[in-house]
C-alpha cells in the first residue's frame, strides 16, 4: 500500500486535512501518517478537539512552538526529517502557508520525496508577510500544486510554472467541503449563541490577529475604534487571539466591544451562520464567511482571495476607521446574491485522485 505523510501545524489545517483523511479512509488504498508540528498549540487542540471534529489523531506530535520564525522552521525541518526517515512515504502533503508548511516541504524535497501543496498559488504580493514567503517557496519545490481558485492558477502561470516540471491543477477550495460537512453538526455541538446572549443577524463577528496589525499601534487603535463605533448599534463579538490580547494589554487598550476567549470550530461556525457580517484580517475567515453567505470587511491592505472583493462579497478597508464604518452601513442594507460558485465542489475527492495518480 502507498503511504503519505501529512504535515499540520495550525488548527485550520487540521480541519481541512480531515476532509482529505475521510476520503483516503473511504478508498482504503493509501496509508496516511499525520504529523502535528505543534506550531499553534492551544487548549482546543486537545483530545476533545479530535474526537468532536472526527479528525484522525496525529501519530507524531513534535511540540515545536513559541520560537522565532528561523528557530521554529529549522527545528521542524530537523524533526520532520527524522519522521520521514522512519516512515519512508511516497509523498508528503502540506497545507497553506505556515512555518510547518515550508518545513515539511523542505524536509521532503531534500530527501527526494514528492511534495503536494494544497492551497497553492495564493499571493498577497506583500513580501513583509512571513506567510507570503512560505507559500512562494513551498510552491516552487512542490511536485503537485492544488490551486483553490482561477486567480491562484493565473498567479502561477504569470510566474512561469507552465515551464516547470510541476503538476498544477485547479481543484477548488477544500475548506468549502469542511464547512459543508461540519456545518451539519455545529448547531447541536455549540451553544455559543445562547451562552453569549446574541441576537441572530444583529451582531458582527470580528477577528484581529495578524502581525501587520498587532505590531502597528496606529493601525490597531484605528481598527478597534471602528469596531467600538459599530458596537454602539450592533454587538461586535471578538474571540480574542492571544497575540492581540497581549498587545492590547501592553498598550492599555480596553476595547468597548464583546470580547470572548478563543472558540472551537463548531462555535465559530455558529457565529458565522448567525452573524450579520464579518470584520477580519484572517484569510480563511473571509472564505468561510462567503460559504455561510456573509459579507466581509477586510482589515488588511490586501487579500489573497481577490475574487471575493471583485464580486462584491468583501471589501478591503485596511485600518481606515471611516471606511470600516461606512462599509458596515452599506452592507447592512445589502442584498448580495451568494449563488455564485467561486470555489468548486467535491474538492477533497479531486485532490485525492490527483495524489493517487502522482504516487503510482
- Active centre residues (catalytic): 209
The answer to whether 3 and 328 have CB atoms below 8 angstroms apart is no
Handedness of CA 43, 45, 47, 53 (dihedral sign): positive
* CB contact at 8 A, 246 and 209: no
Q: Grid coordinates representing 283?
A: 484569510
CB 202 within 8 A of CB 179: no
Q: What are phi and psi for residue 151, nearest 5 degrees?
A: -60, -45
Rounded Cα gap, residues 177 and 88, in angstroms: 29
- How many angstroms separate the Cα of 136 from the Cα of each of 6, 152, 255? 19, 12, 36
Upper half-sphere CA count for residue 69 (Cβ side, 13 Å): 11
Compute CA distances 302 → 125, 222, 298, 322, 344, whole Å. Answer: 8, 17, 8, 18, 23
Distances from the Cα of 232 to the Cα of 201, 227, 257, 258, angstroms: 15, 9, 9, 11
Residue with grid cell 461540519, as numbered in its chain: 182
Say if CB 118 and CB 93 are below 8 A apart. Answer: yes
E strand map for 37-179? 60-61, 91-95, 114-118, 144-147, 167-170
Within 10 angstroms of residue 63's Cβ, the number of other Cβ atoms is: 11
Report the 10 Å Cβ neighbour count for 65: 16
Residue 116 phi, psi dihedral angles, 5° rounding = -110, 120
Amino acid at each position: 500500500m502507498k503511504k503519505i505523510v501529512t504535515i499540520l501545524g495550525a488548527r485550520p489545517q487540521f480541519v481541512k486535512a480531515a476532509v482529505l483523511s475521510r476520503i483516503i479512509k473511504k478508498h482504503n488504498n493509501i496509508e496516511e501518517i499525520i504529523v502535528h508540528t505543534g506550531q499553534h498549540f492551544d487548549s482546543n487542540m486537545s483530545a476533545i478537539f479530535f474526537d468532536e471534529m472526527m479528525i484522525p489523531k496525529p501519530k507524531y506530535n513534535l511540540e515545536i512552538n513559541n520560537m522565532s520564525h528561523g528557530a521554529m522552521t529549522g527545528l521542524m525541518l530537523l524533526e520532520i526529517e527524522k519522521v520521514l526517515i522512519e516512515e519512508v512515504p511516497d509523498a508528503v502533503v502540506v497545507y497553506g502557508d505556515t512555518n510547518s508548511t515550508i518545513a515539511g516541504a523542505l524536509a521532503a524535497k531534500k530527501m527526494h520525496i514528492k511534495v503536494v501543496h494544497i492551497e497553492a498559488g495564493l499571493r498577497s504580493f506583500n513580501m513583509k508577510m512571513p506567510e507570503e514567503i512560505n507559500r512562494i517557496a513551498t510552491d516552487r519545490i512542490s511536485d503537485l500544486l492544488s490551486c483553490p481558485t482561477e486567480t491562484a492558477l493565473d498567479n502561477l502561470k504569470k510566474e512561469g510554472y507552465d515551464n516547470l516540471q510541476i503538476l498544477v491543477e485547479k481543484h477548488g477550495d477544500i475548506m468549502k467541503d469542511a464547512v459543508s460537512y461540519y456545518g451539519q453538526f455545529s448547531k447541536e455541538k455549540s451553544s455559543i449563541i445562547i451562552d453569549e446572549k446574541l441576537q441572530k443577524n444583529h451582531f458582527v463577528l470580528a477577528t484581529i490577529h495578524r502581525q501587520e496589525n498587532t505590531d502597528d499601534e496606529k493601525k490597531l487603535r484605528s481598527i478597534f475604534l471602528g469596531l467600538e463605533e459599530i458596537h454602539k448599534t450592533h454587538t461586535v463579538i471578538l474571540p480574542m487571539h492571544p497575540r492581540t490580547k497581549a498587545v492590547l494589554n501592553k498598550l492599555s487598550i480596553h476595547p468597548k466591544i464583546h470580547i470572548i476567549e478563543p472558540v472551537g470550530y463548531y462555535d465559530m461556525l455558529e457565529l458565522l451562520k448567525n452573524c450579520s457580517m464579518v470584520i477580519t484580517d484572517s484569510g480563511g475567515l473571509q472564505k468561510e464567511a462567503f460559504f455561510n453567505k456573509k459579507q466581509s470587511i477586510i482589515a488588511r491592505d490586501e487579500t489573497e482571495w481577490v475574487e471575493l472583493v471583485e464580486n462584491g462579497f468583501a471589501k478591503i478597508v485596511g485600518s481606515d476607521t471611516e471606511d470600516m464604518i461606512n462599509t458596515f452601513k452599506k452592507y447592512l442594507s445589502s442584498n448580495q446574491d451568494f449563488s455564485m460558485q467561486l470555489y468548486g465542489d467535491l474538492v477533497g475527492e479531486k485532490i485525492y485522485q490527483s495524489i493517487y495518480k502522482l504516487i503510482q
